[in-house]
Each structure stands twice: as structure tokens, then as C-alpha cells.
Structure 1
Amino acid sequence: MRLTNRTYDEIQPGDSAELRRLITPDDLYVFAVASGNTNPMHLQDSDLDGDGHAERVAPGMFVASLLSAVLGTQLPGPGTLYRRQVLDFHARVHAGEEVLVRAEVLSKADGLVRLKTEVRRTSDGAVILSGEAEVLAPTEKFDRDNLEIPGLVVQRHRHFELLLERARPLPALPTAVVCPDEANSLGGALLAAKESIIAPILIGNAAAIRKAAAEIEADLTGIEVIDVPSDAAAAALACALVHEGRAAAVMKGHLHTDDLLKAMLDKATGLRVGRRFTHVFVMDVPGQPEPLFVTDAAINIAPDLATKVDICQNAIDLAISLGMDPRVGVLSAVETVNPAIQSSIDAALLSKMADRGQIKGGQVEGPLAMDNAVDMAAARTKGLKGNVAGRANILVVPGIDSGNMLAKQLSFISHAEGAGLVLGAKVPVILNSRSDSPMSRLASCAVAAIHHFAGTAK
């Protein structure tokens, strides 16, 4: 980026400068955080006038701030300092619209430059704001190239927002919620119910469930609560409700995952259907073009080749139900087969099995290191070709250690949200952590609902 200025001596009345700017939803979020103006009318999804459409009105002072971009970078340019700005607002501009920002020199005297300023909407020429600025113009020439400004990644979770939009019109998914007897687990289920994504059946200690509801001031009217004496009994009853057709999903509450899975793995009364149970984190990583799957990071500790086949297939099936093109990158420490690294051998075998139709519905490639699985430049540097290297949207990890570390790194360093689902059972199993955000809990339920109804539509 190159910046030059016009010094006071160079500036003449009639000089002008302008820029065009497409206003994006991210602009509105950045301004809300930077200014503290969190008026919902300026944000992406708020409908304050009840007409069924989000307003997405750009804040007036954000639009006005674009004037400083012209003054500070073009006319006069670097070294300019504001003395005064008069603003008259005439119309509104919204996210998705382009504006033309213009400044014209009216006069200069004693180091001060007076400019006419205005912002117009480019689509119809409407004046959004007009006014005058008075600035101290620079006296020293500035001309510099390669000026770097740190980039910003807005921590919006667009992919989860889209999943929620897809899930809301679907019928509420009847869901057996096992032991929701503390605030977080109960709150997540009730939040999804409020959004009409699930229809919860609460199973567990009824007194503890009602106590948790009182703590979060939640009304359980109209929600079925089934009183059972223990965690094991609650998990077994959830399986029974699935077999009876009363529940089409299971949701983990405040109990150990092992206690929930033990009931589901019971050969006589559980939910096994032939494949291994595998876990998928559906990650909404800011800046990524689509959701990123990490599997298996929660159930299978050191999966063998046969288990990895099911891990791949379950993830591919889920990706298809979410409308994605499954591109499976099987991870190892290296991108070449090394007989001393078992994960690289397994990855190569999985890739060949997919070529032979033993894994269906998606492209599988491996071994891939993390960098060349998700970064196109890294893949090309290593000479890797094909549609998966650099573009993987499903990451199959060597084992639970690496998978758990990767998922938590994405969450706590890359600010991702993660939806958790167990696949391979008769119904999807929603697996949340007590530390999960409300968005993660909602997204987990949305993924389960979309996956279930995609399966029933086949």
C-alpha cells in the first residue's frame, strides 16, 4: 500500500479526491465493537420495526468516519489533523450498498484548509450526508510504499448462522435429553426448544431438573419431564424412547459421556446399527469459507484402520446432509508415506480404499500434514495436486490426543465455535461440553436436525 500527501503549499481551491466503499456487515460489527455503539438496528439480523426484514442500517458516525479516510489518505493525506467537521445527515445507507465519499477544497489560509465533504449512494446518487471540514494540512512531504496495516478477522460465525436458518423451518426434532439437571445442560436444551429446533424430553432426577430451571428462571410448562433415579437409568430410558419412536435424537446433559455411551452400546437395548460410534466436531472457524470437520476427537482413543473407515464414512455422510462437498484430508505428521509412522500408512490405505469405492460419497486423500491439508500455497509448495490438498473440509486425525488438541486450538486460539455430534448410532447424539457457548449448543442441535431430516428424506 502506497500513501502520498499534498502539502499545504501544493493544495489549491478546487482540488478534490474521492473513494468508493462497499459497506459490509463486517464493517458494522467492527464499528460496534470499536465505538461501543451496539444498537441492534445496525447489526446483521435485528428487525426492530417488525417488518420481517433486518434493518442493517450503517451508523451515521460510521458513514461520517469514511470522510476521514479521504482526508487522511488522499487530500491532504498523511499528516492531516482535524480542526472541525460539520455534518448534515440526509438519508440512510445499509450493509450491501456502495457509497462514494468525496472532498473538495473550498479555501485555505494560515495553514488551515476548508473542504466541502459529502457521501453519496452510488446506486441512485442520493446524498447520505454533507458538510464541511476544516483541517490542518501537512507541511512536510510524505511518500511511502509498503505501508502495512494489521488485518482484522471478525469473529462472526456465519456458517452456524446459516445452519440455524436451515434448521428453524424443519419440524422440531424430538430429543431425549439425558440428565439436564444443571443450568448449562438444561439451558442449552431449552434454548434450542425456544428456537423450535428440538422438542426436548427431559430425563433424569425431576427435582434436580426443576431446581436447575428455577436457577435460570426457565418455565418448563409444556415440556415432558420423566423422573428416573440414576444416570444409568436415564441413559437406558433415552435408548428405549428411540426404539419406541418417541425420540429421534439423544442429547447429553450433566453426566459422563462414558455413562451415556455405555447404554447406547448395549447389544440388546442400545442404538448400534453396524458402524463404530464416531464423534465429529463441526467447527465454524472465522475467516474460513465453509465449516471444518475434526474427527474423531472425543470417542475413539487410538483408532485402527477399520475404525478410521467408519470415521471417514460417518463424516462424509454428515457433510453431504449439510450440503457440503466432502473433501477428506487424513492427517499425519508428514505428507509422504513413512513406514515408521503408522498414521501415514493408514492415511494412504484410506485414500486407496476411497478410490476403490470402499469409502463412498467423498474424496479422501492422505497422508497430509496440517498445513498442506488446509492451505493451498503450502500444498502447491509440496507439489501436491488434486481437489483435497489445500482444500480439505474434513480432517481425520490420527488419534484422540491430536484431535482434541486441534479442536481446542481452533476454539481457544482461532476463536472457532464447535458443534459436537456422535454418529454411527440409530439416531444422532448431541454431545455438548459444559464450557460450550449458547451458539455451540444451538449449532449442535441444528446439525443433528438437518442430518436427521436429510436421512429421512432419502
Structure 2
Amino acid sequence: MHHIENTTFDEIEIGQSAQLVRTLRREDIELFAIMSGDVNPAHLDEEFAQSGRFQRVIGQGMWGGALISAVLGTELPGPGTLYLNQSLSFRRPVGIGDTLTVRVTVREKHPEKKRVILDCECVNQAGETVILGEAEVIAPTKKVRRPKVSLPRVYLHEPGARYKALIDATKDLEPVRTAIVHPCDALSLSGALEASSQGLIIPILVGPRAKIEAAAVEAECDLDGIEIVDTPHSHAAAEMAVSLVRQAKVEALMKGKLHTDELLAAVVNSAHGIRTERRLSHVYALDVPHYPKPLFITDAAINIYPTLDDKRDIVQNAINLAHALGIDLPKVALLSAVETVTPKINSTVEAAALCKMADRGQISGGIIDGPLAFDNAVSPEAVKTKGLSSPVAGDADILVAPDLEAGNMIAKQLIYLAGADAAGVVLGARVPIMLTSRADNTLSRLASAAIVQLFVRRSSHAMG
């Protein structure tokens, strides 16, 4: 076990020194800003920093000062030291990637009060002095040797950053004409209108006019210039929205205040629906704080116990969505409880069959592997421990659940325990469908609209 040990006043000698070496990372700047509240754009805003005096992002000056404190408190004199005074002179900026050697040197000792004066200096990798200073401390008189405390692991994540990037990617695209099905509450109506204000959709509100107008009053929304298709109730709204698709008057659907089953029943109606030869499936697009890229999970909302043919379509739908979002060759992990094909676990057999279908061109556009347990799909450490050799394991873009229960649990666990943001879309019909939930915040609703806009516009461009 690593220990930390002090140097008592009697052990300290004039000229004695201690040091540590640290390299400034962007994460250090962000952590210091979180801790201190220092949100100076010189430290956090790349564009602002480029136009500033140093033409780059620089670290907070007191980051170096904190390193001096760290040497005094852990090295010389170490545990038991009482800080009295500190002077600092900042000579040069410290940028991301700069490496500081932080050194304290004993200059004076005052026995009557056990005080020690130390010269303090921070020098960068070029040998240039960054900080000069002087510290006055009361040195400990008793020997201390303690186990070194393990620090918690910190993950930095800007909530919604990936969704904002998706929205930014739509700026040059035409908005998608979207039927908002029964938007008769403030939440679904305001979400649709916000997506409209962002240029993501052109909303056509389908439902009882009186209820829509009442929802607008509650949400304090302005309906001027917004088309409303009046229907008597939610069931009729679903049928009308699907009819608008069949008439090529809208390019997408967005669920309002009605049950998902009610909307999908109109979508899959054999006589008047908008089914295609492809199986409908839902894809969650998750922004998971601890995962380095967007993570797609399918199917967690439509297919309860999908057959092998269903899974083929589920995988292809997810791959097509990933293409529209800029992932040229998505890595698809077919999930099960184990990594080996086991006849007693049907999902492992179907995963093997799906891999062979991909080999034969029945699924295209992605790299597919399975069966893989969840840990081996997303964790390089787990892959290394188990000695797996796979182009997908530990780096999956798409997780394909064996059934709806598993997919729903995985997605909800990531949302509620890992702090993931969730957006999603149903694919496989003539147009994409946004199944918004009352639990979705505004950004999630906007992200779903952005995903649909990217899918519609980039898919049509590819076909054109």
C-alpha cells in the first residue's frame, strides 16, 4: 500500500526541496472551473481564447498555485502542515499540454513558533518560470505516516453536447413537414413548436382544434401561421396523420398526447396504413456520460419477441439511421448473456445466424458481431480480460437487444442510473416516427427532431 509521510520541523533542513510534475489537460481546466466557479472564457471558450492575447486556451493561474499547495501538504513538510501565507507572481501563461515542475525549497526556519519559509517555483517544459512565490507554514512536530487516500474517479460530461452537435448538423437542411398527432397538452405542443423555431420541422397539428388551442394557452404558445387539421379525437388524429403521409403531404410523424399503440395501429393498418416490407423498429440514440460516442439501442419499444427475420430488419434500420447521422461503418453488437453460441440460449444462436446473414449480404453497411454480453460490447477492459478478438467488442455503436424487455431495461438503466440523455425514432414505415415521452426534456425532443431531419434529408439525397 502506498503511504504518505511528513517531514517534521526538527527534520527539515535549509535548502531541502520537494517537487511534483503535472501536465495541464483540458479536463483539469474544466474541473478547476467546476470547483471554483471560474468560467472565464479565456479558459473555456476556444473561439474567444483564439482572439485573445495568448491566442490559445490557458489554464487558470491558481491551478499552478494549487499545485504548490499540494507539494506543501503532501511532500514538504507534508501532513500536519498549517498554511499561513502565500505570495504568487504569475510570469507566463500555462496552456493545454504544458508540463509544470512545481518545486518548494526551504529558505528559513524559525524555531520559536515552528515556522518555515519556503521559496516556490513552477517551471514549464521549456525551462521558463511560470510562477514564483513564497510560502510561510507551521511545520508539524509529530511524525505522521498514513495510507495514501484513493481519489474518486471523475467523469466530465457536458449534458446535451452531442445532441447540440446533431442540431448544429441540420443548419443547412430544409425542415421536415411533420404531422404532430394529437398535440393536446402543453408539453407535446411546446416541444413541436420549439423544433419548428429551430428550423427542424414544419409542424402540421392534427387533432381537436379546441383542445390544441387550449394547450397553446396553457403553454403560452403562439399558433399564428401554424396549420391545424381539425379531428374529433385522438383515434381520428392518428388516422388523419397517416393519411397525410399517404398523400405525400408530410414527411414524418411526431406523437403527441395519445398512446403509442393508438398511433402505431393506424401506421400498420393493412388497408390504410404506411407499412413497408421492412419491419418497424425503434432506435434509441443515447448520449451516455461514460461512453465516448453516441450509443444506439434497438429495439426497446416496438418488437416484444422479435423473430430472426424481424431482427434482420431491426439491425438494418439501425445501421441506416447511423449512416444518416454520419457514422459510415457502424459497429453492431448482438447482445446476449454470453459470448459463445449456446443452443440453450436462443439469442446466441440467432446472433450467430445474423452474423452469417451479414456475411451473405442480407444485412449491409455495418460491422456485425455476436453474441456479445453487454460488458464486452462496450468495455475495452472487459474485452481484454476475457481475451476476445473482435472488431466490435468494446467499441460498439449499436446494441441490438435479444428482446424488448432486455432493450428497454438497458436503455432505462443508462438513462436513470448513468445519466444518459435519450432521443429516439421509429423506422421501417414510409416515414420516420418520433415517439416522444412525457419524461423527455426539451433537448431530447429537439434531438429526436434533428435525427429525423438528418434521416429524411440525407436518405433522400442518397437515393437521389
Residue 262 of structure 2 aligns with which residue? Answer: 259
Query: Aligned pair 1:68/2:69, yes or no?
Result: yes
Secondary structure at 1:349 match in 2: helix
Which of 248-257 and 405-414 deviates more?
A: 248-257
C-alpha offsets along residues 148-187 of structure 1, whole Å, 9 cap, x if unaligned?
2110123424433332332334333332222222222223
Q: 1:442 aligns with which of 434, 446, 453?
A: 446
Kindly indicate whether the alpha-carbon contact (under 8 Å) linking 2:423 and 2:447 is maintained by their aligned counterparts in 1: yes
Residue 167 of structure 2 aligns with which residue? Answer: 164
C-alpha offsets along residues 412-435 of structure 1, whole Å, 9 cap, x if unaligned?
111111111111122221122111
Per-residue deviation at 1:302? Answer: 0.7
Residue 83 of structure 1 aligns with which residue? Answer: 84
Distance 1:302 1:114 in 2: 73
Taking the TM superposition and a 5 Å limit, the aligned residue runs for 1:254-333 are 254-324=257-327, 325-333=329-337
Residues 64 and 372 from structure 1, CA distance in 2 versus in 1: closer, same or farther, beyond 3 angstroms?
same
RMSD (Å), alpha carbons:
3.5
**Letter of the aligned partner of 2:164 in structure 1?**
E
Distance 1:293 1:98 in 2: 37
Distance 2:209 2:289 in 1: 39
Query: Aligned pair 1:412/2:416, yes or no?
Result: yes
Residue 452 of structure 1 aligns with which residue? Answer: 456
Secondary structure at 1:167 match in 2: coil
Distance 1:132 1:221 in 2: 67
Query: Aligned pair 1:224/2:227, yes or no?
Result: yes
Residue 139 of structure 2 aligns with which residue? Answer: 137
Secondary structure at 1:385 match in 2: coil
Residue 425 of structure 1 aligns with which residue? Answer: 429
Task: Tell which structure's C-alpha radius of gyration is larger.
Answer: 2
Kindly indicate whether the alpha-carbon contact (under 8 Å) linking 2:339 and 2:370 is maintained by their aligned counterparts in 1: yes
**Letter of the aligned partner of 1:374 in structure 2?**
V
Per-residue deviation at 1:377? Answer: 3.4
Distance 1:173 1:75 in 2: 65
Distance 1:188 1:63 in 2: 45
Distance 2:46 2:215 in 1: 30
Kindly indicate whether the alpha-carbon contact (under 8 Å) linking 1:99 and 1:119 is maintained by their aligned counterparts in 2: no
Per-residue deviation at 1:216? Answer: 3.4
Kindly indicate whether the alpha-carbon contact (under 8 Å) linking 1:66 and 1:101 is maintained by their aligned counterparts in 2: no
Which of 359-368 and 261-270 deviates more?
A: 261-270
Per-residue deviation at 1:31? Answer: 4.5
Kindly indicate whether the alpha-carbon contact (under 8 Å) linking 2:288 and 2:419 is maintained by their aligned counterparts in 1: yes
Query: Aligned pair 1:213/2:216, yes or no?
Result: yes
Residues 146 and 81 from structure 1, CA distance in 2 versus in 1: closer, same or farther, beyond 3 angstroms?
closer
**Letter of the aligned partner of 2:434 in structure 1?**
I
Structure 2 segments unaligned to the other structure (5+ residues): none
Per-residue deviation at 1:451? Answer: 1.9
Kindly indicate whether the alpha-carbon contact (under 8 Å) linking 2:186 and 2:218 is maintained by their aligned counterparts in 1: yes
Distance 1:374 1:279 in 2: 20
Per-residue deviation at 1:295? Answer: 0.7
Distance 2:300 2:280 in 1: 12
**Letter of the aligned partner of 2:457 in structure 1?**
F
Residue 247 of structure 1 aligns with which residue? Answer: 250
Q: 1:369 aligns with which of 360, 366, 373?
A: 373
Kindly indicate whether the alpha-carbon contact (under 8 Å) linking 2:436 and 2:445 is maintained by their aligned counterparts in 1: yes
Distance 1:228 1:90 in 2: 71
Distance 2:30 2:221 in 1: 30
Distance 2:346 2:3 in 1: 51
Distance 1:207 1:116 in 2: 76
Residues 93 and 421 from structure 1, CA distance in 2 versus in 1: closer, same or farther, beyond 3 angstroms?
farther
Residue 362 of structure 2 aligns with which residue? Answer: 358
C-alpha offsets along residues 259-283 of structure 1, whole Å, 9 cap, x if unaligned?
1111221234432221011001111
**Letter of the aligned partner of 1:452 in structure 2?**
V
Distance 1:210 1:75 in 2: 71
Structure 1 segments unaligned to the other structure (5+ residues): none
Secondary structure at 1:262 match in 2: helix
Residue 340 of structure 1 aligns with which residue? Answer: 344
Kindly indicate whether the alpha-carbon contact (under 8 Å) linking 1:97 and 1:121 is maintained by their aligned counterparts in 2: no
Per-residue deviation at 1:360? Answer: 0.7
TM-score after normalising by structure 2: 0.84
Residues 432 and 68 from structure 1, CA distance in 2 versus in 1: closer, same or farther, beyond 3 angstroms?
farther
Q: 1:389 aligns with which of 372, 387, 393?
A: 393
Per-residue deviation at 1:212? Answer: 2.8
C-alpha offsets along residues 56-105 of structure 1, whole Å, 9 cap, x if unaligned?
886666665444334334444444332234567789878x4647474544
Distance 2:351 2:91 in 1: 62
Residues 283 and 151 from structure 1, CA distance in 2 versus in 1: closer, same or farther, beyond 3 angstroms?
same
Distance 1:63 1:188 in 2: 45
Per-residue deviation at 1:117? Answer: 5.1
Kindly indicate whether the alpha-carbon contact (under 8 Å) linking 2:72 and 2:104 is maintained by their aligned counterparts in 1: no
Per-residue deviation at 1:229? Answer: 2.0
Distance 2:134 2:209 in 1: 67
Query: Aligned pair 1:20/2:22, yes or no?
Result: yes
C-alpha offsets along residues 7-28 of structure 1, whole Å, 9 cap, x if unaligned?
443353584635434242x445
Per-residue deviation at 1:42? Answer: 8.0
Per-residue deviation at 1:352? Answer: 1.2
TM-score after normalising by structure 1: 0.85
Distance 2:6 2:355 in 1: 57
Secondary structure at 2:390 match in 1: coil
* Identity score, percent: 45
C-alpha offsets along residues 111-168 of structure 1, whole Å, 9 cap, x if unaligned?
33334557788799695x7654433334455667764211012342443333233233
Per-residue deviation at 1:401? Answer: 0.9
Which of 170-179 and 354-363 deviates more?
A: 170-179
Residues 118 and 312 from structure 1, CA distance in 2 versus in 1: closer, same or farther, beyond 3 angstroms?
same
Residues 230 and 97 from structure 1, CA distance in 2 versus in 1: closer, same or farther, beyond 3 angstroms?
farther
